[in-house]
């Protein structure tokens, strides 16, 4: 950062401090990761300087001969990795990607169904404060009150009553695998568009550690910075099944992104996505994706041995949701205490949470970033022990902080 340090030492200092924080802490927010230096070189490149409104071969500005090659490369890599027919790599992130799906397939006031936010769904899947419930008729589905799992029969029954035109599947806090075939059966029975939002699990899907929704759904949206380990960004994919249902679907999606919602695509971001897609196609990434899940399962078992109560009693993906009610601490207080000890997680509602959303009863944690640093099952046992010490005894925080600092030295950030 020689130039930045000289020209803007304040910003350089903040980046240095954040680098040090990341190096010496355990990043366990399940939607975060450590991108590779190659991804960040593309992201920090000269490509940030150009406007490229339009699509390859049909742009509104000059000087874009290399940008067309770049965007096509990115699209081809995504098509191969996810086995889809069409990809739009221009969404700025996940919410704009989902907005474009609404714009492409629904008219204002038409009906959408999605998993409710407090049950692990996403804001853009029709939650009441979001545009998706303000401009469309949103009906939400829930998880079962006892098991906290999706009850596929109940969802199918509700879908057949509500008859949505668009149905979302995807979550930010669901620790289990989706049964895409059953969800497709529900959506197909009423002729709804089925959209899978795989933002959290895209890396697991790419690496073969979670079943792919592609054979079952019409549309797939994702962010690129979570388990996929790229730069912040988004993508929309259209499947063969999607084009069979609606031959115009790919065109509708592209028109919804530009000129419907966005202006010039962030070409430096698209370059970073292309790099991450190349990385995600390697055997090493497949191993990484599988290790994320192995680590999450090992961590879940170790946490349970300390009496932690896990939503759905465990995990089958990259994340764990802890119900802290038996530990006499709120999610917020636990998050603060863990942060002081050097573990970053987030407070989170648990399904049917009796506590208010800003003071929820749970915490959400995940293994994508610590797996990137090379941690394995053995380290998960140690990490569970730290959770237990910090949550059961406030006085242990300082000592745990020192232990984590020294532990982190053995697991450097990607170089």
Q: Is 99 in the site for ligand DSN (CB under 6 A)?
A: no
> Do 357 and 364 meet the contact criterion of CB atoms below 8 Å apart?
no
Least CB distance from residue 230 to ligand DSN, whole Å? 15
Residue 223 falls in the annotated catalytic set: yes
Active-site residue (options: 53, 144, 301, 340): 53
The only residue of 25, 27, 31, 230 in contact with ligand DSN, by rule CB under 6 A? 31
Contacts of 104 (CB under 8 A, 6+ apart): 249, 252, 253, 255, 256, 260
176 within 8 A of 152, measured Cβ to Cβ:
no
* Tokens 């149905």 found at: 167
Phi, psi angles (nearest 5°) of residue 140: -100, 145
Asked whether position 114 contacts ligand DSN by CB under 6 A, the answer is: no
Distance in Å, CB of 173 to ligand DSN, minimum: 7
**Nearest to ligand DSN of 77, 125 (CB atom):** 125
- Which residue intervals of 178-315 are DSSP H helices? 180-189, 202-206, 240-245, 249-255, 267-280, 283-305
Q: Which C-beta is closer to ligand DSN: that of 224 or that of 388?
A: 224
Query: 86 or 125, CB closer to ligand DSN?
Result: 125
How far apart CA 177 and CA 317 sit, in angstroms, is 7
Is 48 part of the annotated catalytic residue set? no
Identify whether 364 is a catalytic site residue: no
Out of 98, 172, 348, 372, the residue judged to bind ligand DSN by CB under 6 A: 172
Q: Would you state the structure tokens that stand for residue 11, as one six-digit string?
A: 């910003």
The catalytic residue among 16, 23, 50, 51 is 51
Alpha-helix runs per DSSP H in 106-151: 131-134
Active-site option among 27, 71, 197, 323: 197
d(C-alpha 178, C-alpha 166), whole Å: 18
Nearer to ligand DSN, 31 or 138 (CB): 31
Q: What's the closest the beta carbon of residue 353 comes to ligand DSN, in angstroms?
A: 17
Nearest approach in angstroms of CB 29 to ligand DSN is 6
Q: Which residues bind ligand DSN (CB under 6 A)?
A: 31, 94, 122, 172
């Amino acid at each position: 950062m020689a130039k930045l340090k000289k020209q803007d030492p304040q910003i350089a200092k903040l980046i240095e401090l954040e680098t040090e924080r990341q190096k010496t802490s355990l990043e366990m927010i399940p939607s975060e990761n450590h991108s590779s230096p190659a991804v960040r070189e593309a992201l920090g490149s000269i490509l940030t300087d150009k406007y490229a409104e339009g699509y390859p071969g049909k742009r509104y500005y000059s000087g874009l001969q290399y940008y067309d090659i770049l965007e096509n490369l990115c699209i081809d890599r995504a098509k191969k990795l996810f086995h889809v027919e069409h990809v739009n790599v221009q969404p700025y992130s996940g919410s704009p990607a989902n907005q474009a799906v609404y714009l492409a397939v629904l008219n204002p006031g038409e009906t959408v169904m999605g998993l409710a936010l407090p049950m692990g769904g996403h804001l853009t899947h029709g939650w009441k404060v979001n545009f998706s419930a303000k401009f469309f008729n949103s009906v939400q589905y829930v998880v079962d009150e006892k098991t906290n799992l999706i009850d596929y029969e109940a969802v199918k029954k509700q879908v057949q009553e509500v008859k949505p035109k668009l149905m979302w599947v995807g979550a930010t806090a669901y620790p289990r695998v989706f049964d895409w075939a059953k969800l497709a059966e529900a959506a197909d029975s009423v002729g709804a568009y089925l959209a899978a939002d795989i933002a959290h699990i895209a890396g697991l899907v790419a690496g073969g550690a979670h079943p792919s929704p592609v054979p079952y759904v019409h549309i797939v949206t994702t962010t690129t910075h979570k388990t996929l380990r790229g730069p912040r960004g988004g993508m929309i994919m259209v499947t063969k099944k999607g084009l069979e249902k609606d031959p115009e679907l790919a065109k509708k999606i592209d028109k919804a992104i530009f000129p419907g919602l966005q202006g010039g695509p962030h070409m430096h971001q698209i370059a970073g996505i292309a790099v991450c897609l190349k990385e995600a196609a390697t055997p090493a990434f497949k191993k990484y994706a599988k290790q994320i899940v192995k680590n999450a399962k090992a961590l879940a078992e170790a946490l349970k041995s300390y009496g932690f109560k896990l939503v759905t009693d465990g995990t089958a993906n990259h994340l764990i949701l802890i119900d802290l009610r038996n530990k006499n601490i709120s999610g917020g207080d636990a998050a603060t205490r863990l942060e002081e000890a050097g573990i970053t997680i987030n407070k989170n509602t648990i399904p049917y949470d009796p506590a208010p959303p800003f003071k929820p009863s749970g915490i959400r944690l995940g293994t994508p970033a610590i797996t990137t640093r090379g941690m394995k099952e053995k380290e998960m046992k140690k990490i569970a022990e730290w959770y237990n010490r910090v949550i059961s005894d406030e006085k242990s925080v300082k000592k745990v902080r020192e232990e984590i600092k020294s532990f982190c030295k053995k697991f450097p950030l990607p170089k």
